[in-house]
A and B are shown apart, each in its own frame.
Chain A
Amino acid sequence: SGINAEYGSSGINAEYGGTPALVTKDGSVDGSKVFYDPGSNKNFTYKYLTGEATNVEGGTRDNGAEKWRKAVEDALAGYLKDNFPAFGSAVYGKLEGDTVSLTVAIENHKYNPDNFYCGKWTSRWSVEFPTSGGYAKVSGHMKVQVHYYEDGNVQLHTKKSAEESVQMGSVEEGARNLVEFIGRAEREYQLGINENYREMSATTFKSLRRALPITKNLVDWHKLHSLNIGRDLMNRTT
């Protein structure tokens, strides 16, 4: 049960009644299989073996943080639609004393077992700030995994952390700035990976093994025989 919760913490998409919900460590209610979906304010039980969300019941929303949480959720919706063809996301909010904490979780995946591949993107961003606003440090990380497995096992694993001071200002302004930073960080990460690939295929890969010898012809294996005659002669005379 503890192991399952650890697996869930990486962000999995679950669905109930057509509404997507995310399974994350941040949303864990009982440290095991009950999770909270902040958007709909509902708790659900996640069945690890089937990927279903069941047993949906009312959740406990922290109303103190709700106006900030909702503002970020609304601003995020636009960003997600612009950049992710499909996605799961959750914005968690908490108010403790005078401090608002917000956590943004984004997940997208692509499963294509017919063509022997699958991929997953997860990112998580969090920020804490006083109810009066001001500059606050947003920090988080992004992870990409891709698995290709036709007659082999090839995997891409990449991760990056990022942080920046963001002006949390008024509720709407703060939400806009937060989402703008997230968009910029995630775009930079994706562009960085693309740039790596360009370099790997243009230079690194080629310098490991040529496509053909410099002669542009396949090796003449018959010719290599004379080497052996030479070696046999050497062995006999020494």
Chain B
Amino acid sequence: MAGQQVDCALDLMRRLPPQDIDKNLSDLIDLVPHLVDELLSSIDQPLKVAKDPKKNKDYLLCDYNRDGDSYRSPWSNEFFPPIEDGNAPSDRMRKLEEQANDAFDVYREQYFDGGISSCYFWDEEHGGFSGAILIKKTGDLKNKFRSSWDSIHVIEAHEKGAGRNAHYKLISTVMLWLQNTREGSGQMDLGGSLSRQVEKDLPVTADMFSHIVNIGGMVERMENNIRGILETVYFGRTLTVLNDMRSLVDLESKKAHDKLNQ
């Protein structure tokens, strides 16, 4: 019964305007409060930002670094607001996190020229580990356009072949939001997300950083791919649908013109 309800909730979120994700998710939780954990872990929300007061640095919030109402900062590895015995990563995972955050800081600068990134890793019960790599970039208010990009990459890794290889599974969601109010076009809101996934076997060494090399390469290629698809879907497809519904070209004279050219 609960499984069916979660499916229905996900179905609803696929149809409702993504611009209202936060409100719709909150309304869903009101409807089925016993499913709050399931819903929070399966429905992506635009990334929120908090400041780590110890390191004076921004970090991104998601279900993976949440414990109750507190969120763990990847910089100080502490929860804010502070809590007793928060859900912390093992020493090995913490070391991986530090390396990942440093590496993705550089990646972020090279592609986003700003923005915020945060990486979180955790051991999996049945061996292997998982991680979440988050990036948020908010555009500046040029020409009255509000814009922002949210990346949510979730990676699963399992070592195999006596530690020579690892199998990775990456599920990536990129959210893109564009809004504008102008005389000619009124209010415009173009937003939402696309998701893709990929699996790969890659070599690893005794150095934990080899995981970062593998994961980094997969995330980079995936993001480049999704960026291209976003461009096509957002600025190609959605505009074509509008221009198909109402023609800017006089249809009657177009028909006559087409007949002449047959």
Contact = CB atoms under 8 A, between A and B. Distances in A.
Interface string B120-140: 000000000000000001011
A187 B191 CA distance: 24
A199 B173 CA distance: 24
A188 B196 CA distance: 37
Given A157-B17, A200-B178, A85 B106 contact: no
Contact of B231 (A147, A201, A203, A225): A201
A190 B247 CA distance: 9
Interface centre among B113, B185, B221 (most CB of A within 10 A): B185
A109 B241 CA distance: 9
Nearest to A200: B178
Given A154-B194, A211-B224, A219-B220, A188 B184 contact: yes
B77 interface: no
Given A152-B195, A208-B137, A199 B145 contact: yes
Specify the main secondary structure of chain B where it touches its partner.
helix
B50 interface: no
Contacts of B196: 151
Interface string B5-49: 000000001110111000000000000000000000000000000
* Interface residues of chain A: helix, strand, loop or mixed (majority): mixed
B68 interface: no
B185 A208 contact: no
A153 B193 CA distance: 6
Contacts of A203: 142-143
B149 A83 contact: no
B245 A108 contact: yes
B111 to A, nearest CB: 5
A93 B248 CA distance: 29
A221 B213 contact: yes
Interface string A111-123: 0000001111100
B109 to A, nearest CB: 9
Contact of B217 (A108, A213, A221): A221
B83 interface: no
B145 A193 contact: no
B237 A117 contact: yes
A207 B224 contact: no
A196 interface: yes
Contacts of B93: none
Interface stretch (B55-63, B96-104, B154-162): B96-104
Contacts of A159: 186-187
B235 A197 contact: yes
A194 interface: yes
B149 A209 contact: yes
Contacts of A152: 173, 192-195, 233
Contacts of A16: none
A153 B247 contact: no
Contact of B246 (A81, A190, A221): A190
Interface in A152-191: 152-161, 186-191
A82 interface: yes
20 contacts: A83-B251, A108-B245, A142-B186, A155-B191, A158-B185, A159-B187, A160-B185, A187-B248, A191-B248, A192-B185, A192-B186, A193-B188, A200-B235, A203-B143, A204-B147, A205-B178, A212-B224, A218-B217, A224-B103, A228-B209
Given A83-B251, A209-B223, 8 more contacts: A142-B186, A144-B242, A153-B14, A154-B18, A159-B186, A204-B145, A227-B103, A228-B209
